[in-house]
Homo-oligomer: A and B are copies of this chain.
Amino acid sequence: MKNAVSRHTGYAPLPRWRVIAGKTIALGPGKADLLEGILDTGSIGQAAERLGMSYMRAWSLVQTMNSCFSSPLVQTQRGGPEHGGATITGTGKKVLKLYRLMETASIQASQPAWSKLKPLLR
């Protein structure tokens, strides 16, 4: 007997929130992970490496984030982009925390619909 419920244990729903204005993505899953990586490592380069992202890509994402918020989320130390460390500002920590809250709140809220969708998967 076909039992659809037992076969789709591998599927998971992921909310990939984007905060956008026109074509500009102020914040999204990649930028949030990057903030978290910089918070953990104190370095854009190490955070980029951890995410399998080029340094230039990470630097560009940081520039976009910093320009979209009223005050910078990431502060780079003296020595320019290639040198020194980077720190997450108070605003940056707040933004990261709120983004993660949006994720957890929406995962919880989507459960009723997800519990009906899941059994339809192979």
Contact = CB atoms under 8 A, between A and B. Distances in A.
A79 interface: no
Given A101-B113, A114-B102, A117-B98, A11 B18 contact: no
Contact of A18 (B4, B14, B27): B14
Interface in A49-66: none
A42 B112 CA distance: 29
Interface residues of A, number: 45
B13 A19 contact: yes
Nearest to A11: B21
Q: Which 7 A-B pairs have the closest CB atoms?
A: A106-B106, A109-B109, A10-B21, A101-B113, A102-B110, A105-B109, A98-B117
